[in-house]
Amino acid sequence: MARLLDRLHGALTRHVPLQLPACLHRIRERGVGQLRRGQGWLLDYLYAGYWQARAFLRPVAEQELLSYSDAQAAPVLLIPGIWETWQFLLPVARHLHQAGHPVHAVSGIGYNRGTVPQMSRLVSDYLAEHDLNGVVIVAHSKGGLIGKHAMSASPHPERIAKMVAISTPFSGSVYARFAPIRSLRAFSPRNAGLLQLAANLAVNSRITSIYSSFDPHIPGGSQLQGAQNIKLETMGHFRLLNDPRLLEAVREQVAAPVPEETYLGVERPEQPE
């Protein structure tokens, strides 16, 4: 289609007034942009299908990522998105593990079908059970909502230092209203639980939100007020997870110190010795 538009543009510029080619150029650019977005959407779903199949056929034991080579590296806790296991985040997990971080996963979350408060309680229980402090949450999509809930409304928020959220619908998604499944409708911008979570700004300064230039699931974007927002040129909701730019951005944000004042009254977690 892009080639056809180029030919049309060339033909018309020879026979129409000069002001029209600019208009046609905008039409061409719009058409090319739509093609790229369509391609990005397709590749995004192919990526998701591959990693879902891989997690089922070639699962990785959680214990493989718990060891660490840097005693000063903060512990990382993974929280996947809806209908994802933690192994969907395996590219990110391995990158952080190679950087020296012990990487934890809450097996009880499973495919993350429960509500945000339910999953947040599992996260809090895991942190207490393993006596983890100074934890950095790395989350994808719905996992970022769970992480923010754990930072602000769970029994042990003081154990969490900060969060790096990837492709998280902090303000919901307009598509969620039309979803036939209740668990997806919970991401509607009008959802009471989502609105309540969004209204809590106290922990936003300890959150980094990383998102793509085009997310087919979150057309409104993943910007979060008061947080550090990082937009990458990658297209997609899922494919971003294996992008080298994303992996490096996550590593940098996980390793960055948390200023004392950003705890906003919450007892600062003990840092690993």
pLDDT band with cut points at 50, 70 and 90 for residue 265? very low
User: Which residue ranges make up each domain of the chain?
Assistant: 56-255
Give per-residue pLDDT as tens, 65-76.
887 667 789 999
Interatomic CA distance for residues 251 and 101, integer angstroms: 10
Res 179: pLDDT: 73
- Its CATH architecture, for the domain 56-255, is 3-Layer(aba) Sandwich (3.40)
pLDDT band with cut points at 50, 70 and 90 for residue 11? very low
Give per-residue pLDDT as tens, 137-174.
999 999 999 999 999 988 889 999 999 999 999 998 88
Both tokens assigned to 211: 């998102």
> CA dihedral in degrees (75, 121, 169, 44; nearest 10)?
70
pLDDT band with cut points at 50, 70 and 90 for residue 20? very low
Exposure of 229 by Cβ count < 10 A (0-12 exposed, 13-18 middle, 19+ buried)? Answer: middle
Helix, strand, or coil here: 138? strand
Both tokens assigned to 208: 């980094």
Alpha carbon 6 to its chain centroid, in Å, reads 37
**What is the value of pTM for the model shown?**
0.81
Give per-residue pLDDT as tens, 204-219.
999 999 999 989 888 8
Q: Name every residue whose Cβ is closer than 8 Å to that of residue 167 and which is 6 or more positions away in sequence.
A: 81, 140, 141, 144, 210, 211, 212, 215, 217, 218, 222, 237, 238, 240
Res 210: pLDDT: 98
Give per-residue pLDDT as tens, 36-95.
666 767 888 888 888 888 877 888 877 778 876 677 899 999 999 999 999 999 999 999
Neighbours of 265 (CB within 10 A): 5
Long-range own/partner contacts, residues 20-28 (CB < 8 A, 24 or more apart): 28/2
